[in-house]
Structure 1
Amino acid sequence: MSELGIENKNQKLIVISQSCDIAHHSIEDEPEVEIIICSEIESLNAMMTNSQNPRVLNLEAIKLDPNSGATPLYLELKAKNKRSISKDKFIDQLPDETIKLDDHNSRILCQWLASRYNRLALPSEFNERMRTMRNFKKLLKKTNNFISALYISVEPNREIESHETYTVNLLALTNVNSSETPEAVKKLINQMATHMEENNIDTNTIIRSEKETSVATIKALKKYNFDHFSFRDTKNPTPPEV
């Protein structure tokens, strides 16, 4: 598999081309297959799940074993490890039938790939105000099994002076399996709201399940990514693109 970019046994290759493109009859129109190289990891990083970070994604796959049955397999994907390979190199490869992605994680993968191009760009001044929030990673980690995504709108969506005020609508979308709002989610949202208010950001927060949320509501907001929380250097407020 070295010709496909696999360098060690802990690395896997996920095909991210749509199946119709792979099977397309014209090699001239579809000469290549898109793949991404990923690595096995010991556990999931909550900051890297649910397509929250556009550069790195942690996924839970399923490892099938004839003796032990199905067990979780944790994978880390990096946007910089996407590749396009010739179908000539790909055509003789067979899939690993012992590793699967369920529908939920397949959707997350698709959302993460798309977020590279359609994610929200927030003003640097707003990001700077949020950058100093304490315990954000710890709080987010505790909500990992409950929150599908955080959605946000920021007005005005531009740079303002430090004494001026942003107005934010923040929606915490809980997954369909949560029958009631877990305390960890309430604590995260309450502390985010408190931090915002302390930093001259007027805040309206809502916690709602996927079943209760309309498409129109989602369209009115943008998914809130957390990559800016990883960069603490005030001389470089905008994280570099990979």
Structure 2
Amino acid sequence: MPQAAPEWTRDTPWRQGHALSSEAAAAFGLEHHSHPGDTLVIVISHDCDLANDNLEVEPEVEVIVGRAIPKPDGNFAWGKTPKTLHLEVACDGAQAFVELQARRKVALPKAELAAFAPREDFALEPTGLAVLRSWLGSRYNRAAFPDAFNRRLEATGFAKRLAKILAAHGELISFVYFDLAGGDQQELPDGMPYELTIVLVYQPGDEPLDTADAVDDVADKVSEAAEEKLSGQSGQPAELVNFKSCFAVSEQDIPVSRARLLMHWRLEHVTLKADDDDLAPVQF
């Protein structure tokens, strides 16, 4: 007598952040478009949606077809860009990294995924899961800077210089905030520069003093680049963007009231190490 196919129930073992086995990925025909041998498929549906066993209301599980990578690019760590994420995970108890791209989402039928179990050798720690959730939402909830500011920043070349700095040190930085001194919603006329302060937010980690020193060094490099690219001649204010300062602050020390006044700047348009197929459109 043939065995009945497994059914999707509220007791499903699947949770957000779980990974599909190679057998499950092959059964659904999922593989990375350019690195099929490194395919790693991550479940991104919310736990509440996964627990819903009414398949007429919630029939599918959403996943992202990603890939294992040898090391992260700092520009894509901590969800700095909504299009690509480099995330630390654990495989067989060892540190590993995965690259996820927002446009590589696929919906799988729960009725078919019920036949498979999550990978037991794969784990996503709470911090990594929080980053994943924040990154998933950032595509639809991110700051829009004034067009005039975007054009001016692009004209100075500072955005690309900042991306290069963070590419080497970006694992330290969880957020990059821009404060435009009240000009965040204003299209300023020619001759009236934006006043720019840059805030680098970081996680203190297990060695907070060492981390603080390292991030202060990054802030110094950002300041040097900003002064070179943005500052006016002979001490006069810049005509496009007038750089005020760059400083670092721990996630534990920045108050919510302060964070709400800042605008999260993401490196959406400067994917320095991406393949041509993965390049994002030029925009802020």
TM value normalised by structure 2: 0.72
Residue 78 of structure 1 deviates from its aligned partner by: 0.7
* CA–CA separation in structure 2 for the residues paired with 1:84 and 1:50: 25
CA shift in 2, pair 1:126/1:188, >3 Å:
farther
- Hey, which of these two has a bigger chunk of strand by percent? 1
Residue 204 of structure 1 deviates from its aligned partner by: 4.5
- The one of 158, 164, 167 equivalent to 1:141 is 167
Of 116-125 and 46-55, deviating more is: 116-125
Of 145-154 and 209-218, deviating more is: 145-154
The equivalent of 1:79 in structure 2 is 102
Flag structure 2 segments of 5+ consecutive residues without an equivalent. 1-24, 233-237, 273-279
CA shift in 2, pair 1:47/1:145, >3 Å:
closer
CA shift in 2, pair 1:41/1:82, >3 Å:
same
The equivalent of 2:275 in structure 1 is none
Of 211-220 and 132-141, deviating more is: 132-141
- The one of 91, 97, 100 equivalent to 2:123 is 100
- The one of 5, 11, 14 equivalent to 2:42 is 14
The equivalent of 1:2 in structure 2 is 26
Residue 5 of structure 1 deviates from its aligned partner by: 4.3
Flag structure 1 segments of 5+ consecutive residues without an equivalent. 65-69, 232-237
Residue 192 of structure 1 deviates from its aligned partner by: 5.0
- The alignment partner of 2:269 has SS state of helix
Q: Is the 8 A contact 2:83 2:101 kept in 1?
A: yes
- Counterpart of 1:89 in structure 2: which amino acid? E
Indicate the RMSD between aligned Cα atoms, in angstroms: 2.4
The equivalent of 1:61 in structure 2 is 89
The equivalent of 1:227 in structure 2 is 268
Q: Is the 8 A contact 2:76 2:84 kept in 1?
A: yes
- The one of 167, 171, 178 equivalent to 1:152 is 178
The equivalent of 2:137 in structure 1 is 114
Q: Is the 8 A contact 1:63 1:100 kept in 2?
A: yes
Q: Is the 8 A contact 2:200 2:219 kept in 1?
A: no
Q: Is the 8 A contact 1:61 1:105 kept in 2?
A: yes
The equivalent of 2:221 in structure 1 is 188
Greater Cα radius of gyration, structure 1 or 2: 2
Kindly provide the CA deviation profile for residues 118-138 of structure 1, in whole angstroms up to 9, marking residues without a partner as x: 011223332233331264333
- Counterpart of 2:148 in structure 1: which amino acid? E
Kindly provide the CA deviation profile for residues 176-197 of structure 1, in whole angstroms up to 9, marking residues without a partner as x: 2232332432223313542343
Kindly provide the CA deviation profile for residues 27-57 of structure 1, in whole angstroms up to 9, marking residues without a partner as x: 2221111111101122211111111111111
- The alignment partner of 1:220 has SS state of coil
Q: Does 2:100 correspond to 1:36?
A: no
- The alignment partner of 2:119 has SS state of coil
- Counterpart of 2:231 in structure 1: which amino acid? E
CA shift in 2, pair 1:10/1:124, >3 Å:
same
TM value normalised by structure 1: 0.84
Q: Does 2:192 correspond to 1:164?
A: yes
* CA–CA separation in structure 2 for the residues paired with 1:156 and 1:63: 42
The equivalent of 2:231 in structure 1 is 197
